[in-house]
Each structure stands twice: as C-alpha cells, then as structure tokens.
C-alpha cells in the first residue's frame, strides 16, 4: 500500500499488517497542532482499517519527538490538545507501540508512555525537561511515569529534568526493549500484543514505596532548584499519583501546567532556551568554513590551562601543554591528570576515557613542540608584557595557518594581537574557571581577527560543548564589565549605609547562589586590588571611588583563602565581624556620609539597573550583539538565576 498522509507532518504506511505512523516535523518533531491533528487522523484510520493489527508510532530523522511545540506557548490553543491525543492513544483497542528512534522528550516521552509498548533504538534517549522551562509535564507525565517506573525514579527524572539513555530507560522499566532494529522489534511487539488484554499505563497501580525514601529523593532533587516553583510542583504531582485516581491527578497536573506556563518564571526560562540556540550565530560568518583543528597547544598549565586541557582532551583533541621548566611541566601534567580523575569520580568522564585522554596529552618545557598545533591558547599570567612577548615568540614557532588565542580577562587583546606579525589570526577565548566545567566562553572578535579564525574559534568552543558568546573588545568584555558596574553600585550602597551582608542577602533572596561580597571573598581580593593600583594614575579624579576594598586588603583581609575578607571564616561559615563594620564606618565618616537604611527591594532594584544599564551600553557600543547574549553571560558566568531570565530580561520585565 502506498504512503498515507494524515497531515502535513504525519504519514503512514502499512508494514506487516501494522500501520506505521511517522511524525516528520523538523527540526525536532515537536508536537505542533498539525502533528496532533495528524495523529488523531491516523488513530481514526487505524481503527477503521479492519485489516490492521495495530500501530507503531515513530519519528523521522534523529529525534522521536522533542516535546510540545514551545513556540505555541502563549498563543491561543488549537484542538486537539496533547492530553486529548494521548488519551486516544492509551484507550485505543488495538495495540500501539512506540518505536523510539531518538530523543523522546517532554510531550514526546508522554506520548511514548501512553502507548501499550515501547521499543528504543540504541540512539534513543528519554527525559521530562519541563521543569527546565519553568513548567510541569502537562500531558500525563507526572501520573503515568510513576505508574511505570515507581515514584522514586519518577521524582528523580521529572524533578531534575535530566535525560537518560536507552540502557537506563530499560533498567528502569520505562521501555520494554532496546534493539538496533527498533522498527522491526516494534512491529513484532504489536503482533505479540494483538488479541491480548492491553497494558494501559494510566490504569496500572503505582508501585508501593516507603514514604521516607520518597521524601529523601524529593529533598535531594529540590535542593538543586532553589527559588524555582516548577520542580516543587512537579514533585508534588508525582507524589499525589499514588494517592488520587488518574482522572483527578491528570486534572491537577493540567491545571498546574497551564498556570505555570503563563508565569514569568516560565517566560524567563523559555527566553533562556531560545537565547542559547541563538548564541554563537554570527551573520557575517554565513558561508565561512571553520578550519579543521585536531591539536591544541596550551601555554600555561595552571588551574585555567589545566581546565582548558581537560575540556579539549575529553572531546578528542590532542593537547600539547607548555611550561617554562621541566618541573613545571611535570606539575602541569599531574594537575591535568588529577582533573581527569575528578571528572571520572563525578561521572563526567568514563573511567576508560581517562587513559585515552592521557595518551593524547604531552606537557613539555619545549615550546618548539607547538609547531604541531592548529590552535594555541595562552593561559599565562594576565600581564600585557608577559602576553605580548609570548605571542611574539609564538609567531616564530607556530605554523602559518595556526590560530593564536588569548585567555585574558581584562587586557586588550587588540594590543596583544598588534604585537604579532599576523594579528588576523589572533582571537580571544575567555574561559571561566574551572574551564572544564563552566559552560561559558566569551569569544572576542578582535579588530583584525579574520572571519575564518572567528568561525574556527566558535567551532572549537562548540565542540568542547561550551556556550560561546561572541563579543567585541572592551575592558572586561561583556561579563567582567557588567560585573564591575554591579560591584561598583554595591560598594556605593555600602558607603551610603547598606551592610555587605544585607546586599548579599538581597541577591541570595532573588536567587543568586551567593551574594557579591561573598563571591568577592571566594575569588580573593588581591588581584582586583593590584589592578586598581595599576589604574590609579589614569583614574578620573572626579569619579566616585570607594576605598573600602583597598582598606580591607591593606588590613590583610584578602578573602576566604586568607580566612578573612568582607566576612570572617574562622568557623568555616561566613561571619559579619566588627572589624569590617568599623572599617566601613570609618570610610563613611571620612567622606561625611550619613548612613541611611536600604530595603532589600531598593538594593536589588539598583543592582539590576546597574547591570542592565551597562548591558545597554555594551549593545549601543556594538560590543554585544544581542541582549539575550548578555543574559546568558550573566547566568552562566556570574550566578544570575536562570529562572529570572538574566538582567536584560528581568529589567524589561520590571519596566
Ligand atoms: N518546540 C519548538 N522548537 C523546538 C523545540 C520544541 N520543543 N525543541 C527544539 N526546538 C527548536 C530550537 O529552538 C531550534 O530552533 P532554531 O534552529 O530555529 O534555533 C531547533 O529546534 C533545534 O534545536 P537544538 O539546537 O536544541 O537541536 P539539538 O539537536 O541540539 O537538540 C533537542 C535537540 C534535544 C530536542 C533539544 O532541542 C531540546 O532539548 N529541546 C527541548 C525539549 C523540551 O524541553 N521538551 C519539552 C517541551 S515542553 C512539553 O513537552 C510540555 C508537555 O509536557 C505538555
């Protein structure tokens, strides 16, 4: 029989007496309105065709179904709804088997759950990532998943939004089988199920589980979602699955889904989702190919260099680390090996991968070996003379087609590039520490950087699995420039009467994992102090300057490592101490400032304004391309809570 078309994105063929329905809605087979309509048509058709034993549902391409169509959120609803389609699937009197060819996420996983059997290909993955979008599953996931795999595993998956591979899905009982030829296996399962009483997931009993174990997993999952509403609601719904009947549970789930879908938290997280997909897209690079790169040289194997090395090794690059002496090279190799060990311990790297990584690593005191590198990244001391001399030396060592990248945080990469014979091959790659873990990389498009060098730097960062944000040259790039503005504002408020712990409390209440003064202490105060001393001669004498941080450094209060900074850490916890309060009061008195009270609302409003004003300046100067890029930098590099959408989104939302 020839192919049947049920809608613009759903087709069917009859194979071996089974109606095979394929969802083909690129790029990710989201269940848009025409997919839902096509599925209902297919169900009607399958039911009408007396010759058909049952149905298989599968996806075209690499994805099974990527979930509900997020682009439809916020638009008027179009019938049939996903819960209606899913109800039709589950109640069908002929067996329906999901042949899960790729990712089955959110509504896609819910569709698979409603089928009477599930076969996964080796490439399949499963997940309920709704909480990452500020919502809960809205088509039965919180009610059907616990019935199939138990409350504990369901809380873990739905509350965290994590994805699992086919093998884990099989061990949890989420699928009935994993097969390289998943379609054949699904067809044969339909025949096995035909004529038998169908196992409808929604009608199963939730397996009994000890309450204490349920509470323990709920606590663990929720500890990672501070300040967010959706994970707690998702966990609540999964827990109720064992207590209420299916109909009541589904109604509660749907109402919660609709309420959260229209919340600011969900709008913020959708903004972040689409912002991430936009990031790294640069119009001027259309049609420009990235260079092929296999070997990465890293000069300096301290904390930052070692982190970059691990990130590169883990995805298959050869790495040549360069140090000044043999002893330093040995230490660098040890540091990289130690970081790889930690990756294995935390599950980021398979144990077998460690040796494979080390086999691709050389750490040497012979800079001449960088002649083999396609890309050389410097991660040495952040000093202009050190970096320009290094780049001049590299000019004479590396191949003519090699790319040179600087990891500077504050220096001007144009000045570093100008010291070389070929500034067009210089680009900034500003990693965040620890570089093997932090996703953010600012890619600095310098004055002379050639388009293919920029395209190659982007491709490199993407292969590392990073979130690359392209920006222009300015002191501190996007992140540190905004951070400086926000720190300055925080210090103004301290001088005017707010206590550092009040500012930190306001930020933490908003959702930052740590307030700015605690971050300051964590990072250490001495590097910024040294920079301020260097800049003292060129500082505008009329500009307001708060000396409190300098006074802390003069008193040896360099931060957490020193046991004292803005706070004291003698007990391990951060503590407000009279010495710092006295120092702040003295600074106010020296300027005749009468301290006043700041409410948490005023503190946060001023800090947000400082961030978003600086962001607006970066946009108008052409340093940042899009305001959503700024949001991603602050979320991924500086702890801005993702569920608030970033400073630009949050400021717009408050306007
Ligand atoms: N709806 C609409 N568009 C989507 C989408 C979705 N669910 N998922 C992805 N897209 C779009 C992206 O915006 C992107 O568009 P662009 O090319 O215009 O930028 C394109 O598809 C490709 O996306 P990726 O770049 O992310 O492609 P990958 O191959 O890297 O990843 C994926 C594929 C794993 C499916 C990933 O896109 C993903 O995680 N998607 C979101 C999954 C999700 O959150 N699903 C739950 C939705 S909510 C839901 O189902 C509610 C239900 O319970 C009722």
Exposed / middle / buried, residue 618 (Cβ in 10 Å: 0-12, 13-18, 19+): buried
Question: Does residue 63 have its Cβ closer than 6 Å to ligand 1?
Answer: yes
565-575 residue pLDDT tens: 999 998 888 99
Separation between Cα atoms, residue 15 and residue 449, nearest integer Å: 56
**What pTM did the predictor assign?**
0.93
Q: What residue owns the CA closest to ligand 1's atom 41?
A: 66
pLDDT score for 537? 86
261: nearest Cα among 131, 84, 161: 131
Which tops the pLDDT comparison, 236 or 475? 236
Taking the CA of residue 70 as reference, the ligand 1 atom at the shortest distance is 1
**What is the chain's mean pLDDT, rounded?**
95
- Same domain, yes or no: 315 and 407: yes
Beta-carbon contacts of 196 under 8 Å, excluding residues fewer than 6 positions away, are 95
Give the Å distance between the CA of 86 and the centre of ligand 1: 20
For the chain, the maximum distance between any two Cα atoms, rounded to a whole number of angstroms, is 92
Q: Find the helix or strand (DSSP H, E) in which 153 lies.
A: helix 151-160
Q: How confident is the model at residue 1 (pLDDT cuts 50, 70, 90)?
A: low
Residue 628 falls inside a structural domain: no
pLDDT score for 590? 95
Work out whether the CA dihedral 349, 354, 360, 361 comes out positive or negative: positive
242: nearest Cα among 264, 213, 270: 213
Q: Which residue, of 266, 300, 329, is where some domain finishes?
A: 266
Query: Is the pLDDT at 290 greater than 90, yes or no?
Result: yes
SS3 379: coil
Residue 110 falls inside a structural domain: yes
Q: How many residues does the chain have?
A: 655
Is residue 61 within 8 A of residue 24, CB to CB? The reply is yes
- Same domain, yes or no: 300 and 252: no
Q: What is the percent of the chain where pLDDT is above 70?
A: 100
Q: What residue owns the CA closest to ligand 1's atom 54?
A: 138
- Same domain, yes or no: 514 and 427: no
- Same domain, yes or no: 306 and 210: no
DSSP code of residue 374: S
Q: What residue owns the CA closest to ligand 1's atom 22?
A: 27
Question: Does residue 107 have its Cβ closer than 6 Å to ligand 1?
Answer: yes
Separation between Cα atoms, residue 105 and residue 174, nearest integer Å: 13
Catalytic pick among 32, 121, 160, 409:
409
Give the burial string for 49-69 (b: 16+ CB within 10 Å, else e). beebbbbbbbbbeebbbbbbb
Residue 645 falls inside a structural domain: no
Question: Does residue 332 have its Cβ closer than 6 Å to ligand 1?
Answer: no
Q: How confident is the model at residue 550 (pLDDT cuts 50, 70, 90)?
A: very high
Q: What residue owns the CA closest to ligand 1's atom 20?
A: 27
Please name the residue that has the structure tokens 């067996």.
Answer: 95
Catalytic pick among 480, 627, 628, 636:
480
Q: Is 430 among the residues known to form the active site?
A: yes
The pick from 23, 67, 466 for probing ligand 1's pocket by mutation, whose C-beta has the most ligand atoms within 8 angstroms, reads 67
pLDDT score for 2? 66
Q: What is the mean pLDDT of residues 443-468?
A: 97
Give the CATH number for residue 488: 1.10.1040.50
Identify any residues that bridge with 5 across adjacent strands, giving them in sequence order: 11
Q: Which two tokens stand for residue 128?
A: 């309920």
- Same domain, yes or no: 448 and 513: no
Query: Is the pLDDT at 277 greater than 90, yes or no?
Result: yes
Question: Does residue 69 have its Cβ closer than 6 Å to ligand 1?
Answer: yes
Taking the CA of residue 281 as reference, the ligand 1 atom at the shortest distance is 19
Q: Write the ipTM.
A: 0.98
SS3 461: helix
Give the CATH number for residue 242: 3.90.226.10
Separation between Cα atoms, residue 202 and residue 208, nearest integer Å: 16
Question: Does residue 134 have its Cβ closer than 6 Å to ligand 1?
Answer: no
Separation between Cα atoms, residue 14 and residue 335, nearest integer Å: 59
**Residue 27, preceding peptide bond in cis (omega within 30° of 0):** yes
Q: What is the mean pLDDT of residues 483-501?
A: 96
Q: What residue owns the CA closest to ligand 1's atom 9?
A: 28
Q: Tally the domains of the chain.
A: 3
Residue 55 falls inside a structural domain: yes
Query: Is the pLDDT at 352 greater than 90, yes or no?
Result: no
Taking the CA of residue 278 as reference, the ligand 1 atom at the shortest distance is 19
- Same domain, yes or no: 485 and 465: no
Give the Å distance between the CA of 111 and the centre of ligand 1: 16
Catalytic pick among 116, 430, 501, 643:
430
The pick from 70, 125, 468 for probing ligand 1's pocket by mutation, whose C-beta has the most ligand atoms within 8 angstroms, reads 70
Residue 614 falls inside a structural domain: yes
Q: Which residue, of 471, 490, 515, is where some domain finishes?
A: 471
21-30 residue pLDDT tens: 999 999 999 9
SS3 299: strand
109-157 residue pLDDT tens: 999 999 999 999 999 999 999 999 999 999 999 999 999 999 999 999 9
Q: Which residue, of 448, 471, 494, is where some domain finishes?
A: 471
Question: Does residue 230 have its Cβ closer than 6 Å to ligand 1?
Answer: no
Q: Which domain holds residue 571?
A: 479-622
300-347 residue pLDDT tens: 999 999 999 999 999 999 999 999 999 999 999 999 999 999 999 998
- Same domain, yes or no: 515 and 610: yes
Question: Does residue 5 have its Cβ closer than 6 Å to ligand 1?
Answer: no
pLDDT score for 570? 87
66-99 residue pLDDT tens: 999 999 988 888 999 999 999 999 999 999 999 9
- Same domain, yes or no: 465 and 497: no
Separation between Cα atoms, residue 135 and residue 137, nearest integer Å: 7
pLDDT score for 649? 98
Q: What is the mean pLDDT of residues 241-268?
A: 96
Catalytic pick among 130, 378, 442, 502:
442
Question: Does residue 139 have its Cβ closer than 6 Å to ligand 1?
Answer: yes
Please name the residue that has the structure tokens 């009061």.
Answer: 585
Q: Is 480 among the residues known to form the active site?
A: yes
């Amino acid at each position: 029989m020839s192919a049947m078309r049920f809608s613009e994105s759903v087709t069917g063929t009859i194979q071996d007496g089974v109606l095979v329905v394929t969802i083909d809605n690129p790029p990710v087979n989201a269940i848009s309105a025409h997919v839902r309509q096509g599925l209902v048509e297919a169900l009607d058709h399958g039911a009408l065709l007396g010759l058909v034993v049952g149905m298989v549902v599968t996806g075209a391409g690499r994805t099974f179904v990527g979930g509900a169509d997020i682009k439809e959120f916020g638009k008027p609803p179009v019938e049939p709804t996903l819960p209606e389609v899913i109800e039709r699937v589950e109640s069908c009197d002929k067996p329906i088997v999901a042949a899960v060819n790729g990712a089955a996420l959110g509504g896609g996983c819910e569709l698979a759950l409603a089928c009477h059997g599930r076969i996964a290909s080796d490439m399949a993955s499963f997940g309920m990532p709704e909480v990452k979008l500020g919502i809960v599953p809205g088509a039965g996931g919180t009610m059907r998943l616990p019935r199939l795999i138990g409350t504990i595993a369901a809380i873990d998956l739905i509350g965290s939004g994590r994805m699992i591979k086919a093998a884990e899905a099989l061990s949890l009982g989420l699928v009935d089988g994993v097969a390289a030829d998943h379609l054949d296996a699904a067809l044969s399962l339909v025949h096995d199920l035909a004529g038998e009483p169908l196992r409808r997931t929604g009608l199963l009993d939730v397996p009994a589980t000890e309450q204490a174990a349920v509470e323990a997993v709920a606590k663990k999952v929720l500890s990672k979602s501070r300040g967010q509403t959706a994970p707690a609601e998702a966990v609540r719904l999964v827990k109720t699955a064992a207590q209420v009947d299916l109909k009541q549970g589904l109604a509660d789930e749907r109402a919660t889904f609709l309420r959260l879908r229209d919340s600011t938290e969900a709008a913020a997280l959708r903004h972040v989702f689409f912002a991430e997909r936009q990031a790294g897209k640069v119009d001027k690079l259309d049609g420009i190919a990235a260079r092929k790169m296999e070997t990465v040289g890293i000069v300096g194997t301290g904390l930052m260099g070692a982190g970059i090395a691990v990130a590169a090794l883990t995805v298959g690059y050869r790495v040549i680390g360069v140090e000044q002496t043999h002893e330093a090279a040995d230490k660098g190799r040890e540091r990289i090996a130690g970081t790889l060990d930690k990756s294995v311990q935390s599950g980021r790297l398979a144990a077998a991968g460690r040796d494979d990584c080390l086999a691709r690593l050389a750490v040497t005191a012979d800079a001449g070996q960088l002649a083999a590198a396609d890309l050389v990244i410097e991660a040495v001391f952040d000093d202009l003379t050190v970096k320009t001399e290094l780049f001049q030396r590299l000019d004479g060592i590396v191949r003519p087609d090699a790319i040179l990248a600087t990891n500077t945080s504050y220096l001007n990469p144009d000045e570093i590039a100008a010291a070389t014979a070929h500034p067009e091959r210089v680009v900034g790659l500003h990693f965040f520490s620890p570089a093997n873990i932090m996703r953010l990389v600012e890619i600095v498009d310098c004055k002379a950087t050639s388009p293919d060098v920029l395209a190659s730097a982007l491709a490199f960062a993407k292969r590392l699995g990073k979130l690359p944000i392209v920006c222009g040259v300015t002191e501190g790039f996007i992140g540190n420039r905004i951070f400086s503005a926000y720190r300055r504002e925080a210090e103004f408020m301290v001088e005017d009467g707010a206590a550092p712990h009040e500012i930190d409390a306001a930020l933490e209440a908003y959702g930052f994992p740590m307030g700015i003064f605690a971050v300051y202490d964590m990072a250490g105060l001495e590097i910024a102090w040294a920079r301020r001393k260097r800049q003292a001669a060129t500082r505008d004498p009329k500009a307001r300057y708060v000396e409190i941080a300098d006074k802390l450094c003069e008193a040896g209060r360099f931060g957490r490592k020193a046991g004292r900074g803005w706070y004291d850490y003698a007990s391990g916890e951060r503590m407000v101490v009279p010495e710092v309060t006295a120092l702040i009061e003295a600074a106010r008195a020296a300027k005749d400032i009468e301290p006043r009270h700041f409410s948490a609302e005023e503190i946060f409003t001023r800090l947000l304004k400082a961030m978003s004003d600086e962001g607006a300046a970066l946009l108008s100067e052409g340093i940042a391309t899009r305001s959503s890029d700024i949001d991603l930098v602050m979320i991924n590099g500086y702890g801005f809570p993702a569920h608030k959408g970033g400073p630009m989104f949050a400021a717009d939302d408050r306007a």
